[in-house]
Amino acid sequence: MSQLELDVASHDLVRRNGTFQRMSGAGEIRQSLRVRLVLFRGEAFLNTDLGVPYFSEVLRKGIDEAALVSIFREAILDTDGVISVDELDLDYVPTARRLDVVFVATGSLDELAEDLKIEEKIEVPI
């Protein structure tokens, strides 16, 4: 399976020589994780269950860290190709109004492929 490649910074479709680029493999899993974690639940009109429940859960006053970790762990595990979340650290930067989600996950491209390690730091502006 493959998907259209998105620019990491702008999230625009990547074109080279007038052709939209496709990606697959580990890059596809990484991109799916980035998209899922910056997407607000309900934002994608074709599937309103995708994304993180920022408005209803994450941005709620008084939410505890354990609940936040659970929300992000679930979002990562719901991504196709991810088998487990090995490490997860959330760091809120109030001066920048940003949540840094740093994680290590184990993924697999298919049932026969060896596991691959995915290490990412995703900055979510909130």
For residue 112, what pLDDT is reported? 43
User: Residue ranges of the domains in the chain?
Assistant: 34-125
DSSP letter at 75 equals H
pLDDT tens for 46-102 read 988 889 999 999 988 888 889 999 999 999 999 988 889 999 999 888 888 888 899
Structure-block tokens of residue 107: 């993924």
Structure-block tokens of residue 103: 């994680």
36, 50 Cβ separation under 8 angstroms: yes
Give DSSP secondary structure letters for 1-60: -EEE-B-TTT-PBPEETTEE-EEETHHHHHHHHHHHHHSBTT-STT-TT-SB-IIIIITS
Mean per-residue pLDDT over the chain, rounded: 84
What is the pTM assigned to this prediction?
0.81
105, 122 Cβ separation under 8 angstroms: no
Q: State the CATH class of domain 34-125.
A: alpha beta
Is it the case that residue 43 has pLDDT exceeding 60? yes
